[in-house]
Structure 1
């Protein structure tokens, strides 16, 4: 709950120079001081280390706003601050044109992260500016996902490190008039976390988000993409490999076709959600990461294999030997290669998404088990197919051959051509095998 109260703990002269807000649902405090006669902004943020990052934004919406993003440094004790510009509902991008100086109070101490410093010449930026003479300056705050949600903990000195989508955020109005004057970061860090002054919440999110705070906000597009492609890689693809392998299962082309179409449909769904999710992050907006490149290759390979499959079925309908041609070999091995490509790309995608180590290990275990299971099934099918082929050869050598093209429907049995002999218009005489007719029939 956000409560506007007086800053009773501070002297009146100092209180007039501070504007702050405390969000009890998030155990987070934000404070601002605007020193007179310059364009600097003194800021203070404290948030639980349960959240991977904390951010303060100047503006009513992300588009064209300046944001200060803070997260633990690589040593886990200090803090990295990153000034970023947001161009839309996407991850803000680090802009080195804005300089931020942290003071000695900034640190990761136990279960809290404290960020205190000055953003130099930050009252105007590309696309917007801070109104220094209003009681209703729009502001935003956001908190990154926790490690409990499966996101890897951030510990980096890189100001441009990729940040996952916030799990909680909100908007409020700030009194820049009250924040202007003497104060500095030393005064800001002395604020009691339970006191608010000069602010009011802005509830634009509906009745389910009291006080303008949104909790439980997640990267639904990325989650949908991951689940869809996991089903493809670990379920549909291996089944399709088995159905499309060898002549033993060639009698079930309809099942293979249905599975392949569903396989391709989910790949299209995964590609669509992946493209949409990619637009939300700086590192993926140009579609140049290894995961994205391999994903596009896999998709177009899937289309090519679909075309080969259709050509193969047409060839089998027109010729009894179509299933043994080069098209069949290319289709069969292409399906297997596509599956391996999708499996590998899934692991790369988890790394790109900063998934937890346990999730990555779990995927590797399931992928390895799936691969071994499919190899075992294919080996069994190969052995069974070899035995049937050997039996058929034995039957042929005994003088019993299949009729028609592939022998699929023809069950006629014919005697050896050497076992019959005719003379003129007389009825053929059946002779025992390996016997020659007498001279009178010559």
Structure 2
């Protein structure tokens, strides 16, 4: 990669003053024919400002497609394309903040995007030929029109058409993202006119009339270098944000699908309330760590409390605050009467119900983040194995407890014959007097 990058950038330096007949084209890795073209008029390159042209092209099976400046979402000037519902396209200039899904940039420095001839939705293909007279600067950033290694990011979301002409339409989390570098000196064109009509004619696979748009990464034009890394992340944080999402998923899966069920089995297995309390306390702390990471990720993605996963997850976590209290009350009752009472069954079934809800909610989380099949399969296997073991151990405990119960008393797990009577209810035995 370094060798390719170095040679391309070097060639860009040599040809920095050249005018090119074709516009560089890049098709995003991991997407189905999501492609971009760029054109910088010689007059704009010479003055450092003025019109620049770019093209966004994708199948109409995408709900939206975005192109952005920079190597990460925070501070990026973004151009989002989606259908308006009448066969045309809507272009929305947006500013990446790094703390939420990008919203329309309504500031005085917002990109003034114009649609040119050849734009529209034809034969299942969305094509936006765009001119921007002020994209060299925006609130918080700038773009050199002669940069030999300009950074760009892209993202896309499959799904139904947004069918709106509103530039402020709400968009949901992307399916995937990409990063690349562009030598803008390789995108120089002679005239300040739409350069994409001629380019589309020369490249039938990318014309606005439909058909195949391109061949993925192999169709990258001159001056394009695919950049490593994860610029978009889950909205504005790159690898750091993806790390928070993975950590949230791993911690919550381990806590609810493994640690809590296993901790519940300690009582029937070893009869130690101390081991049970310590184990569940560790799981309780980890749950709050995972919850905090989840809130952070949801805020970054603008998904907090606007979907079932975040609402149900928050409810489960806060309802579990009652569980330690119920456990303590159950323990005190059991020490006094050596048998289960109403509070005992409240503690047991409150925990079971919330665990089931939590595991279901984990599946909703995987769906919300468009997790791959491998992640879904792994989650299902972990949950099934742990809850299978849980069911076996609990069933065994019920059978054992039934065998230990006499006709006139109830006896708890792992208590001896001397403990069969509740405290204060032992039969009267007269003491020998001296």
The TM tier, using the shorter chain, reads 0.5 to 0.7
Q: Across the two proteins, how many residue pairs are aligned to each other? A: 373
Match status 1:296 vs 2:307: no
Q: Deviations over 1:260-281 (max 9, x none)?
A: 0222132122112212222331
Aligned twin of 1:118: 130
Q: Is the 8 A contact 1:322 1:328 kept in 2?
A: no
Q: 1:312-331 alignment to 2 at 5 Å?
A: 312-316=330-334, 319-321=335-337, 324-331=340-347
Match of 1:265 among 251, 263, 285: 285
1:387 is aligned to 403
Q: Deviations over 1:27-86 (max 9, x none)?
A: 9764134698997653135799xx999743235763343213569999xxx999764321
Q: 1:15 aligns with which of 16, 20, 25?
A: 20
Task: Tell me which residue corresponds to 1:438.
Answer: none
Alignment of 1:83-162 (within 5 A): 83-88=93-98, 91-93=101-103, 101=115, 104=118, 116-118=128-130, 123=135, 127=139, 134-136=145-147, 139-144=150-155, 154-158=158-162, 160-162=170-172
Q: Which residue is 1:254 aligned to? A: 274
Change beyond 3 A, Cα 1:140–1:216? closer
Change (3 A) 1:63 1:369: closer
The CA distance in 1 between the partners of 2:134 and 2:313, in whole Å, is: 40
In structure 2, relative to structure 1, the CA distance for the partners of 1:290 and 1:47 (3 Å cut) is closer
Q: Which runs of 5+ in 1 are unaligned?
A: 146-152, 202-210, 396-400, 426-442
Question: Which residues of 2 match residues 408-423 of structure 1 at below 5 A?
Answer: none
User: TM-score normalised to the size of structure 2?
Assistant: 0.64
2:116/2:130 contact within 8 Å kept: yes
Verify the 8 A CA contact 1:83 1:95 in the aligned structure 2. yes
- Alpha-carbon contact 2:65-2:82 (below 8 Å) kept: yes
- Aligned in 2, Cα 1:322/1:294: closer, same or farther, shift over 3 Å? farther
Equivalent residues in 2 for 1:233-382, closer than 5 Å: 233-243=256-266, 251-282=271-302, 284=303, 286-316=304-334, 319-321=335-337, 324-356=340-372, 359-360=375-376, 363-364=379-380, 367=383, 370-371=386-387, 373-382=389-398
| 1:171 to partner: Cα distance | 4.8
1: CA distance, partners of 2:410 / 2:374: 54
Q: Which residue of 2 aligns with 1:66?
A: 77
1:204 paired residue number = none
Unaligned runs of 5+ in 2: 163-168, 204-218, 232-238
Asked whether the equivalents of residues 245 and 293 of structure 2 are also in contact (C-alpha less than 8 Å), the reply is yes
Q: For each residue in 1:298-350, what CA deviation from the matched residue of structure 2 results, as whole angstroms up to 9, or x when unmatched?
A: 2222332123323443454xx42175343322211111122112111101111
Contact 2:180–2:227 (CA<8 Å) still a contact in 1? yes
**CA contact under 8 A between 1:225 and 1:274: conserved in structure 2?**
yes
Give the TM-score of the pair, scaled to structure 1: 0.63
Q: How large is the RMSD of aligned CA atoms in angstroms?
A: 5.3
User: Higher relative CO (CA 8 A, sep ≥ 6), structure 1 or 2?
Assistant: 2
In structure 1, the residue matched to 2:210 is none
Deviation, structure 1 residue 238 = 2.0
**Does the residue aligned with 1:324 lie in a helix, a strand or coil?**
coil
2:243 paired with 1:220: yes
CA distance in 2, matches of 1:108, 1:222: 38
